[in-house]
Every structure is written in structure tokens, then in C-alpha cells.
Structure 1
């Protein structure tokens, strides 16, 4: 609770401090008129161009990261930066003399950014988010073309800005209400997720959106060119900077952006597991392994086995990446199971088994708020479903079970059988294979089992080497090898 209190205090300070400064400046002689169109042009335009370049670069690699939240964040700050460039270059008295564009597009930049941030706070299994996820590769180019076309049209036809009704007495406050409502929801959902996951990206979203919230208040209540009015420009630019920094820290953390982007484009998904895992995903996996000592290294091996099986079945690179990431966090729901039940050496009671069988849904609920894609969520929720419909949590059967989950189920059971548990010793490869073959058509998809048979025959040395390694080799040690 102490850590949670610290987060709330920090959020309050970061939001209230600029608002307090704004109020104090307005009430003192410090609020002087600072009419410097050239300064406004250079400060806003230069910093916005840099922010746009970085936000766009992150949007380009977002599909490789396989996190729809990152795509939405990129689109949010591409929108903010692009419209703010237009805000800067349309400064009255420099490149144009129209007085309506600059103020209106500043309002529009926050509205568009707040909308994408609101989408970012919606769970990944929502119908609209799922539809956008399927178009993820095209989101950035299509949206960029729209922004460019809209900005060009507005530049050629500046009077069109009056049709947007963003600066009118009533419409200004309606727009502000919509922006603040979306910002408040974004802050709430991401703060809620951060307190569960401790992902730094969620905290960056909270702080960044908080500054956008205050910037909007200053924008609509401040007087143009006054010292207090300038504050919202710096808040919006700071909002972009902290958000971009949060994304880089979360997903591009190998020492340099260039090296990180190269890693994202590695063709071999097995290399991807070993060389690119975001710090927060790594923490989730190691936290799970620390809680359940008998599954140390289990997540890594399941991801690796599932990758091998996926390759044998001819899955695409995108599907293999989904299996890799989903396999690494497939048991994250076990973090919410009491230790006494999770590590119980004896037979579980019916009530305890119900608790154990809740972990796929718990893991699914956490990861859908973190922006995991549909395929990864399928692995997390349905890796315990059975071909004959007797599995859990949703009793899916046959082709109803997503293929990525059926593949992971084979890998998961094989590793469980060949690893020691609190209630039994590890089985040999041959003993485990007897059980897998026996369960073909009941527990497992027969096509997956046939492919698994081929795989273990062709790559016999790989499986022997993996089983000979310490069954309790943790993820950090695996990744260091």
C-alpha cells in the first residue's frame, strides 16, 4: 500500500504543480504579455518535428512488438506532434496571416491525441480494438496520410477551420469536456493496470495524460501570448517526450534505439526469445517462477517447444512471435493463487482445484489491459482447453480452440511431464510421449500430435539436450546462455 500511495502522491504533484504555477502566474505581475511569434514558431515547430519522427518510428516497429497499445500510443502522439507542427507554422504574422488556424489546430491536436489514448485504455479483447488489431500494419500509414491531407487542405483553405467549431463559446467547452473525460478514463485505467503489473509504460501514460489534462485547461482558460498561456505549450511537448521515453524504456531497451529496432526485425523467433524480451515481460515471468519454484524455466521451455512445433506446422512469422510471447507469460495468472494451494505437495481438494483452474482467466484479464494481441491472449486463456471439450476455463472443443493455444497445450503438457513436481518425479521423454500419443483426439489436436511426433524424431538431439539441462534453470540464466 505504501508504494501505491507514493504513485498517487507523485501523480498529484505532477498534475497540480503546473496548474498551481498557472494560477499563481495569472494572479501576479509575472503574467506579462510575451508576443514573440518567431519564438513560438521555432520552439513549437522544431520540437514537434523531432517528436513526430520518434513517434512515427515507434509506430513502424509496433507491429513487430505485437502490442496494439504501442500502435495506439504512436498514433496518439503522431497526431499531437503533427497538428502541433501546423500550430507552429501557422503562427499569425509569419508564414500566414490567418488568425484562426493556430488556436483551432492546438485544440484539435489534443482532441485527436486524447481519442487514441482513450482507445489505448480499452481492453485488447474489445470488438473495436480487435478489428483495429487486424489492421495494425496499416494504421500508421493511413492515419499519416489523413493528417498530411487534412493539414494541407487546411493550409490552402484556412477558413475551413471555422466549420470545425473548436473555438466557439459553447463548442469549446463541449470539446474540452470530451477531452477531459477521455483523459480521466485513460489515467484511471492505466493507473489501475500499473498497480497490478508495475509496467513502466502504464505509468508513463498516466503522467503524460495528466499533463495533457492540465494543458487543455490552460489552453481554454488562458489569454493568448500571456506568460501563463505559454505554459500549455511546454506541457504538451513534455507529454510527448515522457511518453516516447516510456515506450523506449519498455520495448526498446537493449542499449540503443538502432540496435533495438534491428532486433525487432530478426527473422528467427527463437532468437527473438533470447535477445528481445521487454523488461516488464521478463519481470512477469521471473515473478511467476519465483512464486512456483517447481516451474523454474518452465515458461521459457514451453515457449521454445511451442515455437518448434509451430515451425513444424508451417506457421507464419507473426504467429510464431505470438506463440513465443504468449508461451512466456501463459502462466502469469498463477501470481494470484495462494502459495499454499499452488505448491501443495498432496492431492488438491475440489475447492482448491477451482482456484488453480482460475489462473488462465486471471492471466488473460491482466494481459488484455497491457495491450497483448489477440493471439497471445488466446494462448494465455485457452492453453488448458482439451480437444474433446473437457478442459477449462470455457470448455472449448476441436477447432473452436485457437491453433496457437492447441500448439502451446502440447508443449505445456510435455514440459510438465518431463519436469519434477512437488507430488512426483520427472518422466523420461519416452514416458511422456506415450501419454501424449494416448491423449491424441481427447486432450490434444491429432494434427498437432502428428507434427510433434515428426518434430521429436527429426530434432532428437535438441530434445535430449534440453532435458539434460537443469529443470530448474531460470529464465534469466536461460537468456544469459
Structure 2
């Protein structure tokens, strides 16, 4: 991944520090399982039937609730990664639910064997272990885990992927529907006539499901590890643990050592997968100075102004700081441009959803500048052909980076196309007119205004009147005339717009970086 190529040495140190806890977190359970399996006398049988049913059913109910909650958070925060991870979370509920309901003696199948004859005590346990414990139920657990692993992997794929885009078109109601589908699936697994189809019991089929699940889980973990090395997002690191634990859990269930200590370790691993995803999500959006309860409530905040003022996650703020450290002339630029774009989008009657799009796309619109050498960004004169080519690549480089942060296609469009021109002479794709999404056209005006009114390596900032005159002159060539007209009308009614304070820490009066064609 290209983003990995620009990691600073200090970040490599962080990778080394995270690697050993990761090795211990996944390797430790693996060694424990290996020991239990290698020394049968240690792998004692431990039947806690009632405790098992209550704990697993509670986990299933909790998982269903969190799936819907997490999915709605993803929708409100417009984060594809969180939406798809919620479906992985929910898929584990199939494992919990079927496991709990089928607990011998105390579950719904507790007194009825596969033949329909009433049985109790050891006879029931033995029959159910034979009919379900060694066959359908472990296979059902495999099926749920395989679905979870598939969603984990899909969540690591950028929203520009056609399959992910298709899934995300249903994002508003997908979490709830998926929970309902899993409940239906779990119910059908108890029907003998369909159980063999939904949850194959043959050894070859189960080995295939095992291989697929382990492969998907480890693939997802590897992809998230690569992303985390760049982003340092807690949620992404949590998926690395989740993928490893999910793979280990499947090895236990295939060995079918029900009610042994290794079987209980399997349960702990599955709970660990759920806990990792949930805690990773909370840590993603929680500032260290904010209590956990406030952080959870903040996940529901989707007001663009509040998100921009205080709701940007700590990892995203760190990324913005990295961009500003790479090019000091951009200090405060992302916040100012996003503020201007929000005001302009409101003036043009954009929907609340569009305002959230431009907030997230705007704050990260210059992320690709990390791939442009500092000497080129701050070159005090006209750029050479090769250097100008590098600069023109920063929108597409920004998309390459931003797509690993869970941004939806609309936000990625703002990042990619904010340097397109109305007359088609922009970059990187040469779009023109209405081919350029409205939000990208809005951000283009806000971006240029801030660039012109901010200090550069080769000139002093322009006054607001001169910058507005430039925008007016370029309307119909570089910019959408309607957007420029709305900007000028807004500026006339709000004369203080050009001096909107930078949010957060006070910064020196620097602004956008050199050139970028403006």
C-alpha cells in the first residue's frame, strides 16, 4: 500500500511496540490450545450446562443490540468500515444463539432428541452431543464464523469497490435486516431437513468451511494491519486481533471437543472477537480527556458544525496534524476550508447529509499532499514540469489514503475532484461542468479562496476583495458560476467570513500550500 511508503521513523517505532502485544495476544491463546490438545489430561471435561446457556444467550442478545447500534453509528458517522464491521459483529450472534438454545438438558432441545423421543439427564446429553454437538451445531458455529470473517474482509475493502458500493446502497436498514436474517437462519438450522444444507456436517465440507474461515479471517487481519501501520486507528488494530482470534476459534470447533477446557477457550475467543470490535469502535472516537459515556453519546452526533468543532476523532486529527507538519503553510487550512464550504453548501440549499459529506471530505481533502515532497510544496517560484506532475497527483493520492479510513464514495469524490475545473482543464480526471459533483465544486471555491487569502512561500496573502474578484473573473472557466454567485452573495451578507477563526488551538496566520494551480 502506497501509504506505508511515507511512514516517519517514529511511526515505525510505534509499529514495533504494537507488534509484540499482538504476537502475545494471538500467540498466547494458540499456545494454550496447543498445550491442552497435546496433553489430554489437562483438557478436562467441564459441563456447566445452565451457566453455558445463560451466558451464551445473553451474549447473543447483546450482540444483536450492538449490531444494530454499531450499524446505525456507522450510518450516522458515514463510515463504511463501521457499517460492515457491524455485520461481522452480528454474524457472531448466530454462533451464540444456536449454541445457547441447543445446550443439552436446559436448552430448547434439552429434552427432545433428534428422533423426537423424550430424554433427560445423561441420556439427553449423550443424544444431543451425538446428534447436534458433534454435527449440526459445530457446523452452524462454523457457518456463523465464516459469515463474520467474510464481513471482516469486506470491511477492509475501500468503498470504491463495486461490491462494497452495492452493499452500501442499502446501508440505512442493512444492520437490522441482517440481524433478522441471522435469526431466521439460526432457526432453520434446528430443522433437520435444511440443517444439512445450511450447516454441512460432513468432514470434507467442514474442512472446506474451516479453510475458508481461517483464510478470510487472516486475510482481513493482514489488510487491517497494513492500514493500521499508516492510520493508527484503534478500530483497525482491534480487527487484527479479531481476525486472529476468529481463526483460532474455528480450529477448536472443528476438533469437536465439546465441554472440554479447550472448548471453553473457544467461547472466550469468540467473546474476545466481539469485545475487540466494540472497544475498538469506542476508542476510535474517544478523546483521552472525554469519559467513555460521553464518547459513546458522541458517536450519535451528526451535526456538521459540532463534528467539525469537537467530533473529529483523535486519529483523524493526528492525520491533519501530520499534513500540517509536512507542509507548515497548511496550518489551519483544512478547518478553514471546511468551514467556508459548510457555509456555502448551506447557502446553496444542500441537505444535512450533504453537509456531513463535505465536512468529512473537506477536512481530509489535502491528505494526498503527504505524497508530495516538502521542497515541491514550498517551492518559491514556478514549478518544473516534473514537480507540477507530482502536485497534480495529490488528489488521487489523497483518495488512495482516504479510502483506507472508511470514507464513503461521496466523501472520496470530494477529495478526488476538488481541483477539477468547470471548463475541463482541471485535474486529475479532466471533468467539466456538471460532471464534477456539486460538493467538489463547492470545496474548490472555498479551497481557492483560502489559498489566495493565506500566506505562501512566494507571496503575501491577498485581501478578501481581491480574492473575491479573482473568483468572479474565473466563474464559468475554473468555477461553477452558480457556486461563485452564492459565495459572493454570502460574503456580502457575512463580511466576517474571510476571517473565520481556526477551530481548536490558536495558530500562526499561515494557510494553504504553494501553487496547486491557483
Q: TM-score, normalised by structure 1?
A: 0.92
1:60-459 residue pairs with structure 2 within 5 A?
Answer: 60-95=72-107, 96-97=109-110, 99=128, 100=132, 101-155=136-190, 157=191, 159-253=193-287, 255-256=290-291, 259-260=294-295, 262-266=297-301, 268-459=303-494
Structure 1 contact 382–405 (Cα < 8 Å) conserved: yes
Question: What per-residue deviation string (whole Å, max 9, x for no partner) do you get for residues 255-304 of structure 1?
Answer: 35654455455564222211211111111111111221111100001111
In structure 1, runs of 5+ residues without a counterpart are: 475-481
Structure showing greater radius of gyration is 2
Q: Contact 2:329/2:510 (CA < 8 Å) preserved in 1?
A: no
Q: Cα RMSD between the aligned structures? A: 2.1
- 2:30 is aligned with 1:19: yes
- What residue in structure 2 maps to residue 477 of structure 1? none
Q: Distance in 2 between matches of 1:421 and 1:5?
A: 38
Q: Deviations over 1:373-396 (max 9, x none)?
A: 111101111111111111111111
CA, structure 1 residues 383+26, in 2 after alignment: closer, same or farther (shift >3 Å)? same
| 1:80 and 1:110 in contact (8 A); partners too | yes
Change (3 A) 1:159 1:41: farther
Task: Return the alpha-carbon distance in structure 1 between the equivalents of residues 62 and 316 of structure 2.
Answer: 29
CA contact (8 A) 1:166 1:175 kept: no
Cα distance in 1, alignment partners of residues 263 and 426 from structure 2: 60
Determine if contact 1:123/1:129 at 8 Å carries over to the other structure: yes
Q: 1:471 to 1:397 in 2, by over 3 A?
A: farther
Distance 2:301 2:68 in 1: 20
SS of the residue 2:172 aligns to: helix
Task: From the superposition, tell whether residues 473 and 376 of structure 1 become closer, same or farther in structure 2 (CA, over 3 Å).
Answer: same
Q: Which moved more, 1:250-259 or 1:403-412?
A: 250-259
1:418: how far off?
0.5
**Alpha-carbon offset, residue 86 of structure 1:** 2.6
Query: How far off is 1:58 after superposition?
Result: 1.7
Say if 2:78 is the partner of 1:57. no
Per-residue CA distance 1:44-73 (angstroms, 9 max, x = gap)? 223343344334322222111110110111
Q: Show the counterpart of 2:55.
A: 43
Identify which range, 61-70 or 129-138, moves more after superposition.
129-138
**8 A Cα contact 1:263 1:275, kept in partner:** no
For 1:437 and 1:226, locate their aligned partners in 2 and report how far apart those are by CA, in whole Å: 76
Residue aligned with 1:137, SS: coil
Distance between the aligned counterparts of 2:156 and 2:201, measured in 1? Answer: 27
Structure 1 residue 364: Cα displacement? 0.4
C-alpha spacing 1:12/1:431, structure 2 compared with 1 (3 Å): same
Query: d(CA) in 2 for partners of 1:236 and 1:460?
Result: 58
Cα distance between partner residues in 2 of 1:132 and 1:296: 37
Moved more, 330-339 or 421-430: 330-339
**Deviation for aligned residue 1:210:** 0.8
SS at match of 1:32: coil
Q: How many residues align?
A: 472
User: What is the CA-CA distance between 1:78 and the residue it aligns to?
Assistant: 1.4
Distance 1:160 1:33, change over 3 A: same
Q: Retained in 1: the 8 A contact 2:475–2:481?
A: yes
SS at structure 2 position matched to 1:246: helix
- Measure, in 1, the Cα distance between the counterparts of 2:385 and 2:188: 66
Gaps of 5+ in 2: 1-11, 114-127, 512-518
Return 237-246 or 347-356, whichever deviates more: 347-356
CA distance in 2, matches of 1:86, 1:19: 25
Mean CA deviation greater in 330-339 or 406-415? 330-339
Report the alpha carbon displacement of residue 470 of structure 1 after superposing the two structures with TM: 6.2
How big is the shift at 1:248?
Answer: 0.7
SS of the aligned residue for 2:238 comes to: helix
